[in-house]
Structure 1
């Protein structure tokens, strides 16, 4: 039986209350059932985790794999669907799935080496190229960026007021306007909508592969903002913010204005999201990015 990391258990309980606590308690039994079903052996290493998923290192015979169990309200069913469509192109390969339980069996990558281990500018160029690689013809049935944008647009002002107006009003207005105008703009492709440096790991069949995709039908430029705010602490000036945005746009062969607009909108949205959950570091990072990009506009 595995032991669920205490930090993961506390986070799910904090976010989801009693439902989160019950789900965490069920995980050891779920792992035991899945290892029997898929003929897996659990490694001695302690389970890993992100915010939504528990990751267990396993083997099938001599083949190293990863068993990932996600919070039931996450997008694992869509993730499995998208991974099958990508077929390992720029992304971790899917071996098997039980989407109803949020379980995925995946190719083993090196979880100790993400793009966070590389200098920012090198990491950003790799991630920018991955945005383009992962922008493929969409299979039917994907959630759409238009739906996401409509939700952002409709909620920003209400959330801003509920938090005591922490974001400058002009920035909220710009984000709301962009969410309305950019909802259906640009190429309409299947994209990885949660592509940050921690979600790109070193592989063996390819040097770098994306993980934990949140697939959407929409413009690839939507994937740029996390690559800006995620390592904003490495940016020393407004010039660095502009340089980073330009580098990612060029590496991914993206539309510069569309990318700029999504950075504004998603930074405001994420700033408010962070405050709603009691975070302090990420809202400050978003403020730094927005100050650089909106100071002359």
Structure 2
């Protein structure tokens, strides 16, 4: 019987409710099926958040990574994104079972996370190279969510919380929803985006090469895909200055519209804070405080 961390168990139950409970109940059976089907032996998992992810050794002694998640739309979107990226600046997909939520992925080595770099400007330039390689024009064959789906998610939160949610007022919710609508209607050329690209989802694969992992898969504006990166690995003090420096680098390297970055930053920070409150009954301070930061810049540019 494999013992899962309590925090991970509570996250699965909180986010996925009954489906999460059922998945946890059959988890050990799922591990056994993976070991038998792919002739692998699991090693201790990586730090767990929303999915079970662990390295495993094949019969030929080569290592792979096994990712187990709750089957459904988000899992299917990740698989679709992995197939479209096909290893270009992205971890390679080896095998998949959509019905059981199983991914067999290549093991990236040395596997150092971008979060380990002390030089934030250097890290931002590396991230920009990965982003440039990942972003490809969207097509009808991409079975992933869109930024309009995220707009609808925020509208649903507004309907269910007409007086606001947590520290977010109804006025802020309404303004963020209107911002989502305006941005989505003005996208000139939609791209396939990573959807959750930040310092912990960019991994070193060589002396000067890096690749992304854990794509959510999202069709939308390129400016939207930089927001998660902007909001991660922020210091307790002078965090606004770090965001500004990152925006300067990303806008220059990727030819992005700064105003749209600030608008997406405002809209997404509101949505991300709402998600945290809904799923965990708390929220990241950096996400919450960035709401006002992005909104102030929206009105000054």
Q: TM-score range by the shorter chain?
A: 0.7 to 0.9
Residue 20 in structure 1 maps to residue 15 in structure 2:
no
Residue 51 of structure 2 is matched in structure 1 by 53
Determine if contact 1:64/1:107 at 8 Å carries over to the other structure: yes
CA distance in 1 between partners of 2:2 and 2:110 (Å) = 19
The residue that corresponds to 2:93 in the other structure is 94
1:289 is matched with which residue? 290
Give the one of 224, 229, 232 matched to 2:231: 229
Return 5+ residue gaps in structure 1 as ranges: none
Runs of 4+ residues deviating >6 angstroms: none
Alpha-carbon distance between aligned partners in 1 of 2:232 and 2:61, rounded to the nearest angstrom: 36
CA distance in 2, matches of 1:94, 1:123: 25
Query: If the length of structure 2 is used for normalisation, what is the TM-score?
Result: 0.86
Correspondences of 1:106-255 after superposition (within 5 Å): 106-110=105-109, 113-119=112-118, 120-139=120-139, 140-152=141-153, 154-155=155-156, 157-158=158-159, 161=162, 163-164=164-165, 166-167=167-168, 171-184=172-185, 185-204=187-206, 207-233=209-235, 236=238, 238-255=240-257
Distance verdict in 2 for CA 1:128–1:169, change over 3 Å: farther
Distance 1:63 1:205 in 2: 21
Q: Cα distance 1:72–1:107, how it changes in 2: closer, same or farther (>3 A)?
A: same
Partners of 1:9 and 1:247 in 2: CA distance: 39
By how many angstroms is 1:2 displaced?
A: 4.1
Separation in structure 2 between the aligned mates of residue 98 and residue 204 of structure 1, nearest angstrom? 29
Displacement of 1:12: 1.4
Deviation at 1:150, TM superposition (A): 3.4
Distance 1:167 1:92 in 2: 37
* Number of corresponding residues: 294
**Per-residue CA distance 1:201-232 (angstroms, 9 max, x = gap):** 22249722111101122222111111122223
The answer as to whether partners of 1:97 and 1:105 remain within 8 angstroms in 2 is: yes
The alpha-carbon distance between structure 1 residues 252 and 170, as it changes in their structure 2 partners (threshold 3 A), is: farther
Q: For 1:164-206, what per-residue CA distance to the aligned partner results, in whole angstroms no more than 9, with x for missing partners? A: 5623565434422220111141421211111121111222497
Q: Does 1:35 align with 2:22?
A: no
Cα distance, 1:111–1:266 mapped onto 2, change above 3 Å:
farther
- Call closer, same or farther: CA 1:42–1:165 in 2, change over 3 Å: closer
Q: Which region of structure 1 is more displaced relative to structure 2, 245-254 or 87-96?
A: 245-254
Tell me if structure 2 keeps the 8 A contact 1:152–1:176.
no
> How far apart are 1:86 and its partner, in Å?
1.0
> Which residue does the alignment assign to 1:270?
272
Provide TM-score, normalisation by structure 1: 0.87
Displacement of 1:155 after TM fit? 3.1
CA distance in 2, matches of 1:147, 1:216: 10
- Aligned partners of 1:47 and 1:55 also within 8 Å: yes
Comparing 14-23 with 210-219, which one deviates more in the overlay?
14-23
CA contact under 8 A between 2:151 and 2:177: conserved in structure 1? no
1:19 deviates by 3.6
